[in-house]
Amino acid sequence: MIETADSGRIWLLSGRTSGYALHLTDHGELLHLHWGPRLTLADAEALALLPLAPHRPFESPLDGQEEYVVECGPRFARPALSVRTPEVRGTEGEFAGADVDGDELRLRFADAVHRLGLTLHYRMRDDSDVVERWATVAHEGAPGDPDLELLRADAAVWTLPPREGWRLSQLHGRWAAESRLVRSPLTPGDKVLGSRRGHTGHQHLPWVALDAEGTATEESGEVYGCALGWSGSWRIAVQHLPDGRVQISGGAGYDDSGLLSLAPGHAYTTPVFAGLWSPDGFGGASREWHAWQLARVVPEAGRVRPVLFNSWEATRFDIGEEQQRALAGRAAALGVELFVVDDGWFGERTHDAAGLGDWTPNPERFPGGLKPLADEVHALGMRFGIWVEPEMVNPDSALYRAHPEWVQHQSGRRRTEFRNQLVLNLARPDVQEHLWEQLDGLLSSVPVDYVKWDFNRSFSDAGWPGEEYPQRLWIDHVRALYGLLDRLRAAHPSVDFESCSGGGGRIDLGILSRTDQVWTSDNTDPLDRLAIQHGFSQLHPARVMAAWVTDSPNTLLNGRRSSLRFRFVSAMAGVLGVGGDLTRWSEDELAEARGWVELYKEIRPVVQLGAQYRLRPPEGGLSAVQYVRGDDAVVLAHLQAQHHGLRPPALRLRGLDPAAAYRCLDTGAVHRGAVLLHRGLDTGLVGDLDAAVFRFRRAGAGEG
């Protein structure tokens, strides 16, 4: 709901439990008023009467107060918008009007010197506490006017209320160790997170959370969060200003060295930088993020995801039709619903130094193309998926030999390879068209139901010889990727897509709005995964988090041995997959795995679509996560290591009705809700790397 004060200068957006207010002063400055619990319009009007900080000779009265900081005038805070022409740098906006369109508020400003139009967009829905913000910058000049260079154009600036101090939570990592949660006090200055790699990156998820004075816990206290929806280079800057105020800006691009050049008549729309206030601790904030993504971001999120098999760890590049048929037979017998052939099926791709770019089946490996295998997979009752990495080429490929100018490169410089590959310049229309033809052709000629879309290196030589403003390649690559995905989804509506980038190198709200799930990490070790999943869940729901059970020992990474039970209970916390070499699993292992897959299918709606409670973090001892949906609850518990004389603590459950009784479907015991919530559940886990699943159903529910 959006309310406007009679003055026409105060706007109040109200969501499920929170509110957001802003104020246009008599001097035309757009100031932040409130972000927190719901307010009335009268409260917002009272806030607008509070005096601003007194003028001081070396401080700007605007810093830390403004809704969107532009470069110009009496401001020393980091600008969200920095624009220049050959003549004039900076921008000065006059208020030009407000529109309310359903749940979207638009505030328009005009800069007469640059002939620039700036629109700030806000959207808050009644059933959510997420505020979506973005901005549009338009060149409103006439042909012949100079182009406007956008050095920086952030989506939004978020302002936190004055408090004594703040703690910052972030998700950092690297390849095979993504989304590690770390919390630290916010100190004066700027804390900058981002990626200058051309993709979201393994190093930071585009998300931050802040809690005042470090007082929030998992289930209590105020938490602010911000998350950016962009799959290219990005930056979130958390500024702790000299007077202790905190503002958070975020947008596409890492540096301030130029995003785009806007010709007259053209406009740039930033990605969405979403924000959330929660009174219910980190867990409450996560659940609100999850609910919003399931309702508003992820396509058709109400459909549960199938159990998949992926061939990568089982076979690596050594693949062939017969071997894939054998795996498919075993996967189907386990209850797998989607069989995905990973890398190695196309061109000369028998190793990682050749074939990328040539998206036709390797004739020696698949003499009749992929269709015979796809048909067999379908006959086994599974859906059929393939791996692609469309944005890349190996220099040793037919595509690169035909079009060496199609890759990002700088004139006269060496073309840097990572994993023996170069990045195609997707900003080029001819490259876009080529990829469309290849992928559309592939999906039209083979009955493919699922595409795992990978991206296995970062940008390094992002040049575009001959282009007037090569810098635009960074933004246009992402737009072209989004455009291709959108076009393919529209043309092949039954095909689902997975985003992968060497594991979790491209996970963000932008890619999630056009893919069905993401590959969380190349690290499939079930214990390492618990920490990765714990971090991932801070922002994203289990419904999009792919997790595979692979072989033990984990020869690819750390050699750890773990039971099938531990591996399954770890991977069941997301979208379950199997990625081991099933031809080497014993009959006993296959039988046990069949049981786990069956159990997962039963709990899947609760895990994928339910409310998630992180009961205990994976910090060495007992950890657990719980999911609640309607009358059902599921607990996945893991014991990393046990020390003599110390019993693992009882697990205090969450989200149950204290007045109800719950039957544990695994033990048959009936528990009082109040007891599970307060005294807790004894898991009975013992020893190292033990794990268990507990299913609870409200007594009386579903019993006739």
- The catalytic site residues sit at 454, 522
Paired tokens of 370: 């992929």
For ligand GLA, which is the closer residue by CB, 273 or 387? Answer: 387
- 8 Å CB contact between 484 and 440: no
Smallest separation (angstroms) from ligand GLA to the CB of 501: 7
Smallest separation (angstroms) from ligand GLA to the CB of 102: 40
Residue 437 makes CB contacts below 8 A (sequence gap 6+) with none
Smallest separation (angstroms) from ligand GLA to the CB of 198: 16
Smallest separation (angstroms) from ligand GLA to the CB of 50: 52
Give the Cα separation of 168 and 131 in Å (integer).
20
Residue 334 makes CB contacts below 8 A (sequence gap 6+) with 309, 578, 582, 590, 593, 594, 597
Paired tokens of 125: 């829905």
Q: What's the half-sphere exposure (Cβ side, CA atoms, 13 Å) at 246? A: 28
Smallest separation (angstroms) from ligand GLA to the CB of 343: 4
For ligand GLA, which is the closer residue by CB, 358 or 522? Answer: 522
C-alpha distance across the termini of the chain, in Å = 42
Smallest separation (angstroms) from ligand GLA to the CB of 569: 22
Q: Find the radius of gyration of the CA atoms of the chain.
A: 26
Kindly list the residues in this chain that would bind ligand GLA in the complex (CB under 6 A): 312, 342-343, 387, 454, 456, 500, 502-503, 519, 522
Cis, peptide link before residue 553, omega less than 30° from 0 = yes
Q: Which amino acid is at 6?
A: D
From 399, 490, 477, select the one nearest 438 (Cα to Cα): 399
Give the Cα separation of 459 and 196 in Å (integer).
8
For ligand GLA, which is the closer residue by CB, 503 or 510? Answer: 503
Burial of 42 per CB tally in 10 Å (0-12, 13-18, 19+):
exposed
**Residues 400, 404, 410, 415: is their CA dihedral positive or negative?**
positive
Q: What's the half-sphere exposure (Cβ side, CA atoms, 13 Å) at 282? A: 28
For ligand GLA, which is the closer residue by CB, 349 or 489? Answer: 349
Residue nearest to ligand GLA (CB): 343
Smallest separation (angstroms) from ligand GLA to the CB of 521: 8
Q: What's the half-sphere exposure (Cβ side, CA atoms, 13 Å) at 479? A: 15
Give the Cα separation of 442 and 426 in Å (integer).
19
Paired tokens of 252: 């596409």
Rounded alpha-carbon distances, angstroms, from residue 392 to 419, 462, 507, 595: 11, 13, 18, 40
Give the Cα separation of 190 and 153 in Å (integer).
18
Residue with tokens 């406009």: 267
Smallest separation (angstroms) from ligand GLA to the CB of 502: 4
For ligand GLA, which is the closer residue by CB, 81 or 500? Answer: 500
Smallest separation (angstroms) from ligand GLA to the CB of 571: 14
For ligand GLA, which is the closer residue by CB, 20 or 346? Answer: 346
Residue 160 is given by DSSP the state P
For ligand GLA, which is the closer residue by CB, 93 or 502? Answer: 502
The per-residue b/e assignment along 103-122, b for 16 or more CB within 10 angstroms, e otherwise, is bebebbbbbeebbbbbbbbb
For ligand GLA, which is the closer residue by CB, 428 or 506? Answer: 506
